Amino acid sequence: NFGFAGTLLDTLKKHHNTCPVMLSSSAQASLTGRFGNSEYGRSKKAGEDLFLQYGKDTGAKVLVYRFPNLYGKWCRPNYNSAVATFCNNIANDLPIQVNDPRVELELLYIDDLVDEMIHALKGEEYRCEFEGLDVHPLVDGRYCYCPVTHKVTLGEIVDLLHQFAEMPKTLMIPEIPADSFAKRLYSTYLSYLPKEKAIFDLKMNVDQRGSFTELVHTLNCGQVSINISKPGVTKGEHWHNTKWEQFIVVSGHGLIQLRKEGT
């Protein structure tokens, strides 16, 4: 990190090239918390110092990012991302090992990183100062940062992934609100899912009246199902204290009626 940074900056100086330069540093450069004794962090910090001094000496624009743990679709498993390894192994029915589910990670999704890189190319980067691992936004800060990250424990990650993996059995659509970590993790998980596991059979409940098949369930909004009724058949004949149902007739003709209980 230090050696290449020096070579790059010396070459720019030699050719009087003051183009903007960006350093992909790491949260480990904070040298605090669990990174307090990190040789990798010290090498990143030394590279940062070179870049910041170069900016002072030449007036060139310097962008130093301390990236947290990066994850996302198609990341290489069994390398340097626990999320990639967990996604790959759970999607492919392989074992995983979690030594301490309480360990919290700050995670940066690949799409959010790309968004910030595009901002940086346009001169619209987000700037800050760091206090340990904490980001303090500051318009004229020495450092840059990605504004969208998520803090989540290893246990929470694994629990979500197991919910995703169980979906063909439970038909339960995971809760993935907009801009949530769960939505990003679900997209990541799907990139590791073998195509044959993306196809699964549904249980079709058949009797003399026709059939009833549940398609998907949601935690808060009920379910979606297909009901096939033979001509002249009456189904239902039951009631709910509180329920809202929407019937969409996609083939044939159906008559839907309500009657007062007891009549």
Give the torsion sign (CA, 72, 74, 78, 84). positive
Query: Read out DSSP for the chain?
Result: -HHHHHHHHHHHHHTT----EEEEEEGGGG--GGGTT-HHHHHHHHHHHHHHHHHHHH---EEEEEE-EEE-TTPPTTTS-HHHHHHHHHHTT-----S-TT-EEEEEEHHHHHHHHHHHHTT---EEEEETTEEEE-TT-SEE--S--EEEEHHHHHHHHHHHHHHHHH-EE----TT-HHHHHHHHHHTTS-GGGG-----EEEETTEEEEEEEEESSS-EEEEEEE-TT--------SS--------SS--------TT-
Catalytic residue among 40, 109, 189, 192: 40
Nearest-5° Cα angle at 47, 41 to 50: 145
Q: Which residues pair with 213 in a beta bridge?
A: 204, 226
The verdict on whether 192 is a catalytic residue reads no
Q: Which residues carry out catalysis?
A: 40
